[in-house]
Amino acid sequence: MSTPPLITIDPTQPVPPYVQIRDQIADLIGTGELPEGTRLPPVRQLAADLGLATGTVARAYQELEATAHLTTRRGGGTRVAPQPGGSRDAIVRQHAAEFAATMRRLGVTQAEATAAVEAAFTRRAEA
Protein backbone atom coordinates (compact mmCIF):
# COMPACT_ATOMS: atom_id res chain seq x y z
CA MET A 1 0.00 0.00 0.00
CA SER A 2 1.39 3.41 -0.85
CA THR A 3 0.86 6.91 0.41
CA PRO A 4 -2.53 8.34 -0.57
CA PRO A 5 -2.23 10.58 -3.64
CA LEU A 6 -1.00 14.11 -3.10
CA ILE A 7 -0.12 13.79 0.61
CA THR A 8 2.86 16.02 1.21
CA ILE A 9 4.33 17.72 4.24
CA ASP A 10 5.74 21.22 4.01
CA PRO A 11 8.14 21.65 6.94
CA THR A 12 8.36 25.40 6.26
CA GLN A 13 4.68 25.88 7.12
CA PRO A 14 3.69 26.89 10.66
CA VAL A 15 0.95 24.24 10.49
CA PRO A 16 1.89 21.05 12.38
CA PRO A 17 2.45 17.97 10.20
CA TYR A 18 -0.50 16.07 11.70
CA VAL A 19 -2.80 18.95 10.71
CA GLN A 20 -1.35 18.95 7.18
CA ILE A 21 -2.02 15.21 6.90
CA ARG A 22 -5.50 15.48 8.43
CA ASP A 23 -6.53 18.36 6.20
CA GLN A 24 -5.15 16.82 3.01
CA ILE A 25 -6.88 13.49 3.61
CA ALA A 26 -10.14 15.26 4.48
CA ASP A 27 -9.84 17.28 1.27
CA LEU A 28 -9.18 14.14 -0.79
CA ILE A 29 -12.25 12.51 0.75
CA GLY A 30 -14.35 15.62 0.13
CA THR A 31 -13.36 15.80 -3.53
CA GLY A 32 -13.90 12.09 -4.05
CA GLU A 33 -10.24 11.38 -4.82
CA LEU A 34 -10.35 8.99 -1.83
CA PRO A 35 -13.76 7.34 -2.20
CA GLU A 36 -15.68 5.48 0.50
CA GLY A 37 -14.03 2.20 1.43
CA THR A 38 -10.55 3.17 0.23
CA ARG A 39 -7.96 1.61 2.50
CA LEU A 40 -5.30 3.98 3.76
CA PRO A 41 -1.77 2.84 4.50
CA PRO A 42 -1.02 1.69 8.04
CA VAL A 43 0.21 4.41 10.40
CA ARG A 44 3.76 3.06 10.40
CA GLN A 45 3.96 2.93 6.63
CA LEU A 46 2.58 6.43 6.06
CA ALA A 47 4.90 7.78 8.76
CA ALA A 48 7.88 6.11 7.05
CA ASP A 49 6.77 7.34 3.60
CA LEU A 50 6.54 10.92 4.89
CA GLY A 51 9.57 10.77 7.20
CA LEU A 52 7.50 11.44 10.32
CA ALA A 53 6.98 9.87 13.74
CA THR A 54 4.20 7.30 13.94
CA GLY A 55 2.46 9.38 16.62
CA THR A 56 2.09 12.25 14.15
CA VAL A 57 0.24 10.11 11.61
CA ALA A 58 -1.73 8.35 14.36
CA ARG A 59 -2.99 11.71 15.62
CA ALA A 60 -4.13 12.72 12.13
CA TYR A 61 -5.96 9.41 11.69
CA GLN A 62 -7.55 9.71 15.16
CA GLU A 63 -8.83 13.19 14.40
CA LEU A 64 -10.23 11.99 11.08
CA GLU A 65 -11.97 9.13 12.89
CA ALA A 66 -13.42 11.62 15.38
CA THR A 67 -14.94 13.60 12.50
CA ALA A 68 -16.25 10.40 10.85
CA HIS A 69 -13.96 10.68 7.83
CA LEU A 70 -12.24 7.37 8.61
CA THR A 71 -13.00 4.08 10.33
CA THR A 72 -10.42 1.70 11.75
CA ARG A 73 -10.99 -1.97 12.45
CA ARG A 74 -8.49 -4.28 14.05
CA GLY A 75 -7.17 -6.47 11.28
CA GLY A 76 -9.14 -4.52 8.67
CA GLY A 77 -7.05 -1.39 8.54
CA THR A 78 -8.11 2.22 8.20
CA ARG A 79 -10.64 3.03 5.51
CA VAL A 80 -12.55 6.03 4.25
CA ALA A 81 -15.87 6.01 6.07
CA PRO A 82 -19.23 6.44 4.38
CA GLN A 83 -19.87 10.15 4.36
CA PRO A 84 -23.15 11.23 5.95
CA GLY A 85 -25.40 12.02 3.05
CA GLY A 86 -22.25 12.15 0.94
CA SER A 87 -22.88 15.87 0.84
CA ARG A 88 -19.83 17.65 -0.48
CA ASP A 89 -21.49 20.96 0.41
CA ALA A 90 -21.95 19.88 4.03
CA ILE A 91 -18.28 18.91 4.25
CA VAL A 92 -17.24 22.24 2.73
CA ARG A 93 -19.44 24.14 5.19
CA GLN A 94 -18.02 22.19 8.13
CA HIS A 95 -14.41 22.84 7.13
CA ALA A 96 -15.15 26.49 6.37
CA ALA A 97 -16.71 26.96 9.81
CA GLU A 98 -13.73 25.29 11.50
CA PHE A 99 -11.30 27.39 9.46
CA ALA A 100 -13.18 30.62 10.24
CA ALA A 101 -13.22 29.82 13.96
CA THR A 102 -9.47 29.17 13.93
CA MET A 103 -8.78 32.39 12.04
CA ARG A 104 -10.90 34.39 14.52
CA ARG A 105 -8.98 32.85 17.45
CA LEU A 106 -5.73 33.89 15.78
CA GLY A 107 -6.99 37.41 15.18
CA VAL A 108 -6.85 37.05 11.39
CA THR A 109 -9.17 39.32 9.42
CA GLN A 110 -11.63 37.98 6.87
CA ALA A 111 -9.59 39.59 4.09
CA GLU A 112 -6.38 37.94 5.34
CA ALA A 113 -8.08 34.55 5.65
CA THR A 114 -9.57 34.85 2.16
CA ALA A 115 -6.17 35.77 0.73
CA ALA A 116 -4.61 32.75 2.46
CA VAL A 117 -7.23 30.41 1.00
CA GLU A 118 -6.77 31.85 -2.49
CA ALA A 119 -2.99 31.43 -2.18
CA ALA A 120 -3.43 27.82 -1.04
CA PHE A 121 -5.63 27.06 -4.04
CA THR A 122 -3.05 28.64 -6.34
CA ARG A 123 -0.19 26.63 -4.80
CA ARG A 124 -2.14 23.36 -5.10
CA ALA A 125 -3.08 24.10 -8.73
CA GLU A 126 0.57 24.74 -9.56
CA ALA A 127 1.80 21.55 -7.85
| Domain 1-83 is found in CATH 3.40.50.12160 | no
> What is the b/e burial string over 29-64, where b = at least 16 CB atoms within 10 angstroms of the residue's CB?
bbeeebeeeeebbebeebbeebebeeebbebbbebb
First to last CA, the chain: 23
pLDDT tens track for 42-101: 999 999 999 999 999 999 999 999 999 999 998 889 999 987 655 666 677 778 888 888
Supply the mean pLDDT for the chain.
Answer: 87
Provide the pLDDT for residue 127: 57
pLDDT tens track for 4-43: 557 999 999 999 999 999 999 998 888 888 888 999 999 9
CA 86, CA 16: separation in Å to the nearest integer? 28
* pTM (predicted TM-score): 0.65
Domain ranges (residues) in the chain? 1-83, 87-127
| Nearest C-alpha neighbor of 29 from the set 70, 59, 62 | 70
